[in-house]
Amino acid sequence: MKRVLLITTGGTIACRRTSSGLAPALSPEELLAQVPDARTFCEVEAIAPLSIDSTNITPQHWLLLARLVEENYSRFDGFVICHGTDTLAYTAAALSYLIQHTRKPIVLTGAQRPIGQEDTDARQNLLDSLRYACSGDSGVCIVFGGHVIAGTRARKTRTKSYNAFSSLNFPDLAEVRDQRVVRFIPCPLAGEAVFTRCLNSRVMVLKLTPGLPAGAFPAAGRLCDGLVIESYGVGGIPDAYLEELDALARAGKTVVLATQVPQEGSDLSVYQVGSRVKERYRLLEPYDMTLESTVTKLMWVLGQAQDQEEIRRLFYTPVNYDLLF
């Protein structure tokens, strides 16, 4: 029988109602008591390093979760991390970079309603996740609503519905259907797992809006080492901000020019407003990456390298299906 480590962090799945709203309160043992069928196909050991609303998740928590997987990697066949849905896609992306080439499934899941409610999706999500963790598949992924989504491709696209997560610009890896894992994308060949223990959290996102004050650029630059600019359409920078980009380049900031549009990605070569800035400033372009992956990958890259050429190489090296170009 496969052995699975359940790591709980709080979130809606573990919430109880209080006078001021839902708050995480349930222990791992209380969660497992809601899914007694899990005992028929796996042995589960559980730990609870956190009990927080995922709104409060930070990069330090990602490092903690990666370290827990690393410390227990040899003892278990798979891992399930219960997590709040609001920042679940960021955590899944971050763990995809912190834990690479894993031969074991590292599954993140959660729920839209607490596990104690009669109409909850939590019990099915937790059972599906434990089943996928026993499947022998590999890599970091999200299991939610029966869908198995690569950790770098997920986006929370609905705030209340049970089908809360979508896979952007890439198909689902698999489904968990009728207690079976139906795989659509072959598992990549994996060697020895590679764990990294450093992130540079000085990364910011600046979203362009018509009339955005030019002073937003130097203000962001003072607070970050890496800046992700969410531009319009396939990507471009308004003329009014070119001097600010010059200053960011002189200051040695790493700038990524992304798009606000969730589907189909960027292409800075299409319009003059994009091609000129890419050539002039050697901006990084995330193409079809999600914002969650772009942000967390930049944190990971800047935690490993300072040389601009090495930063470019690492950023453009595909990890866990994050980049197709």
Start-end ranges of CATH 3.40.50.1170 in the chain?
Answer: 2-195
Contact 235, 268 (CB under 8 A): yes
Tell me which of 8, 12, 109, 259 is the catalytic residue: 12
12 part of the active site: yes
- List the structure tokens of 63: 């490092």
Type of residue found at 258 = A
Q: Specify the CATH class of 2-195 in words.
A: alpha beta
Going residue by residue through the chain, which has 325 residues, state the pLDDT in tens, using 9 for 90 and above: 999 999 999 999 999 888 888 888 899 999 999 999 999 999 999 999 999 999 999 999 999 999 999 999 999 999 999 999 999 999 999 999 999 999 999 999 999 999 999 999 999 999 999 999 999 888 999 999 999 999 999 999 999 999 999 999 999 999 999 999 999 988 776 678 999 999 999 999 999 999 999 999 999 999 999 999 999 999 999 999 999 999 998 999 999 999 999 999 999 999 889 998 888 888 999 999 999 999 999 999 999 999 999 999 999 999 999 998 6
* Alpha-carbon distances of 236 from 70, 263, 267, rounded to whole Å: 41, 17, 9
What pTM does this model have?
Answer: 0.96
Fold of 203-315: Rossmann fold (3.40.50)
Query: Where does the chain hold its CATH 3.40.50.40 domain(s)?
Result: 203-315
Q: Write the DSSP string, 245-295.
A: HHHHHHTT-EEEEEES--SS---TTSSHHHHHHHHHH--B--TT--HHHHH
